[in-house]
Amino acid sequence: MSAISNKKKKFIERNYKRLSLEELAGQTGLAPQVVKSVIESCCKGADAEKKHVRQRPQATAQNRLPLSLCALGIFVCTLAVYIPALNNDFVWDDIPFIAENPWIRSLRLQSLAEMFFSFRVGSWHPLTWISHAIDYHFWGSNPAGHHSTSLIIHALNAMLVFYLSLLLLARAGGRNGTETWITSGYRWIAAGITALLFGLHPVHVESVAWVAERKDLLCAFFVFLSLFSYFSYTASASKIRYALTLLFFIAALMSKPMAVTLPLVLLLCDLYPLKRIRGPLSLKAQVLPLVLEKIPFFAASCISGAITIAAGKSGGALRSLELIPLPLRLLNAVRTPGFYLGKMLLPSGLVPLYPFPLSDEWLHPGFLSGALAAVAITVILVWQLRQGNRPLFTAWSYYVITLLPVLGIVQVGDQAAADRYTYLPSVSVFLMAGIGVAWLFERRSELRGRAGSWLLMTASACVLLSLALLTVRQIEVWRNSVTLWQHVTRAFPFPRSSPAAHNNLGAAYHQQGEWDKAIAEYKQAVALRPRYADAHNNLGVAYAKKGMIDEAIAAHQEALAINPDLLRAHLNLGASYDKKGELDKAIEEYKKVLALDARYAAAHTNLAVVYYKLGNYRLAIEHCDKVAEIQGRANEELLRLLEPYRKAVP
């Protein structure tokens, strides 16, 4: 028996129920008698394992209470650190996603149909819309209520990370598994540290304190449930568990398409810790059935990807190769895994929008280091995999695979990177950190016994407390739109300024009625990017507020020369014509809006007002009623003005 290689033993143990004695002997090159002895040894081990399994329920029942208390503690700690976010306002995409989104103002069939079959702001995530609609039902436009839901989901995710970490560590035993690093008694420490890092790390503030990023939280919630279900399916081969895995995956895609890489993650789990792929013997025979098993998942990913691209194109979120060339995207894609890893290890300089580096900055050591670190780690861990060391390779592969949709090859938006993109990928990094801490606790005898334990506990507590304080400080950045965009423009002054940051800061001043400050920021955005249609449009609105109607019309026309389909620019140009008294031109612009989007409520409202001014009460009433049909109610002042004419108009 000692002369048989470990590889051949594992092959026999995996396949002795499926292959005959002669087939096993032929594929391993061993004598049938030797194969038979290996099988007998394997059967004895299986009997012992069954006895162990029969004894486990009592131990599990004994551990259930402390396990639940530990999970509850993680939930409470995470919630407590994020409580200050309840004082924050709606910011950035919260305005079009929530404050001005007619879809979420009811849960009627019409609204649900729009959530599932229409795009808004270049996005398709109907389950996220439904969650916002439920919030709106209970809280209306009160930001605190919407924030509270996001906080609870994030705290629940931290609990799920705790349980998922325990499950991964339990399934990862074996010769090269985590059993060689930490014993079962220290898995709780590893899982607890992992969950607390996930819950308290400031790199996740963007996903939690920004209500519009509820999609991150819901997507991760369903991804974690899908992983739980998949692990259960592989242990029992239950069709119900398989169906649940697929159902949770589809729910994750309908929350945010970043989950598209989950089929690859499941294959990675097959390699380790599930070890359904044992080694080079009959590798094709092992891998092909596992790939075929994931076909429904890959199909769902492809459909979600197609919908996402279509939504991005419809909302103008996809950036052209002219704006961001392919070589620049590839350089950034190589750099960002190391960049995010650095932010997780040293969470300083976190900002809501990281602009692309200037052309002469790509060779700067700060930018090169991220790319070199990512490439070096990948090469080392691939070599480690060839040596049979799967855990570190699996952790890094999960990290890179889950980052693939947001590396920027298909560029959405203007950012080179975003903290919110780390929400799912960070789990493996934090798990490795948790395992490292547990490994040190297990070897505390080498650190002078009890003194070593206190030293480790103090150091761990200090790190977690520091992260919690940084999180509280980062939450303050998201207090309102002014604090948010001032933070970005200060972090990246000219010439590295982001045009989007100046445009958004201008919009924040606009909301506060500070028109001169708003105009200055919009002009800065246009100076940085002359063909910035949104900034030209916003500049026109600010001019109109100051009574500079001719300047407003010129700015809106410039926006439409850049993007003829920009609905807001048509709407605002119509409003400027209305103020100037050119009502026919105003009607023309409003009709252009409705030609692009027949259910644009603001255009119907403005048309109703113009027709009322012209004395065409029949058309005014028609458009007023259309507004009521779209969003449940029309403008009360307009209804009052038109009420005397309803009976008179046929």
Domain locations in the chain? 61-112+120-477, 482-645
Lowest mean pLDDT among 320-329, 360-369, 528-537: 360-369
Q: What is the pLDDT of residue 216?
A: 95
Task: Name the residue type at position 565.
Answer: D
Confidence of residue 37 (pLDDT cuts 50, 70, 90): confident
Q: What is the pLDDT of residue 380?
A: 80
Cα–Cα distances in Å, from 526 out to 91, 499, 516, 520?
22, 7, 15, 10
Highest-confidence range of 304-318, 546-560, 593-607, 634-648, by mean pLDDT? 546-560
pTM score above 0.95: no
- 59 or 188, which is more confident? 188
209, 87 in Cβ contact below 8 A?
no
Q: What is the Cα 365 distance to its own chain's centre? A: 29
Cα atoms found within 13 Å of the Cα of residue 537, Cβ hemisphere only = 21
Q: What is the pLDDT of residue 177?
A: 44
User: Which ranges in 404-449 belong to alpha helices (H)?
Assistant: 426-442
Q: What is the Cα 248 distance to its own chain's centre? A: 16
Look at residues 213, 210, 222, 292 and name the one whose alpha carbon lies nearest to residue 250: 222
Look at residues 460, 542, 549, 456 and name the one whose alpha carbon lies nearest to residue 506: 542
Q: What is the pLDDT of residue 648?
A: 60
Confidence of residue 267 (pLDDT cuts 50, 70, 90): very high
Q: What is the pLDDT of residue 329?
A: 79
- 534 or 312, which is more confident? 534
Q: What is the pLDDT of residue 619?
A: 86
Once rounded to an integer, what is the mean pLDDT over residues 319-328?
Answer: 68
DSSP output for 325-345: -HHHHHHHHHHHHHHHHHHHH
The rounded mean pLDDT for the chain is 84
Sheet strands (E) in 236-289:
none
Task: Name the residue type at position 120.
Answer: R
Confidence of residue 264 (pLDDT cuts 50, 70, 90): very high
Look at residues 238, 300, 290, 244 and name the one whose alpha carbon lies nearest to residue 269: 290
Burial of 173 (0-12, 13-18, 19+ CB in 10 A): middle
Helix 583-596 crosses helix 601-614 at what angle (to 10 degrees)? 150
Tokens of 516: 């001169």
pLDDT(148) > 80: yes
| Long-range contact pairs involving 114-118 (C-beta distance under 8 Å, separation at least 24) | 114/599
CATH number of 482-645: 1.25.40.10
Once rounded to an integer, what is the mean pLDDT over residues 359-382?
Answer: 70
Q: What is the pLDDT of residue 18?
A: 59
Q: What is the pLDDT of residue 574?
A: 94
pLDDT digits (tens, 9 = 90+) for 75-90: 999 999 999 999 999 9
Once rounded to an integer, what is the mean pLDDT over residues 176-192?
Answer: 68
Lowest mean pLDDT among 203-212, 385-394, 459-468: 385-394
pLDDT(469) > 60: yes
Highest-confidence range of 19-33, 509-523, 630-644, by mean pLDDT? 509-523
Look at residues 399, 389, 438, 440 and name the one whose alpha carbon lies nearest to residue 421: 399
pLDDT(245) > 90: yes
Q: What is the pLDDT of residue 516?
A: 94
pLDDT(323) > 70: no
Q: What is the pLDDT of residue 284?
A: 66
